[in-house]
A = this chain, B = another copy of it.
């Protein structure tokens, strides 16, 4: 495996941390009123399509990063519904 695919995989997983910082902030503030649910629905559906694309290419960079991203997007969506007041 070359350098750039490894960097991209790490980056993709790092990006997924982004979802969890939003999840953390929602739970910490017990509020999601400014957070756009639509954003994470778009991301969640999109990540699923990218995951299928990754599987079709047998590209582990796309598969690994999109599995983690899917978990992250779901964590925001679930925390949104638990704290949407």
Q: Which residues of A are interface residues toward B (Cβ below 8 A)?
A: 4-5, 7-8, 11-12, 14-15, 17-19, 21-22, 24-26, 29, 31-36, 38-43, 45-47, 49-50, 52-53, 56
Instruction: Check if B18 sits within 8 Å of A50, measured CB to CB.
Output: no
Copy total for this chain: 2
Instruction: Check if B42 sits within 8 Å of A7, measured CB to CB.
Output: no
6 sampled A-B residue pairs with Cβ under 8 A: A8-B53, A11-B45, A18-B39, A18-B42, A21-B38, A31-B33
A43 to B40, alpha carbons, bound, how many Å?
13
Name the distance in Å between A1's Cβ and chain B's nearest Cβ: 13
Instruction: Check if A21 sits within 8 Å of B39, measured CB to CB.
Output: yes
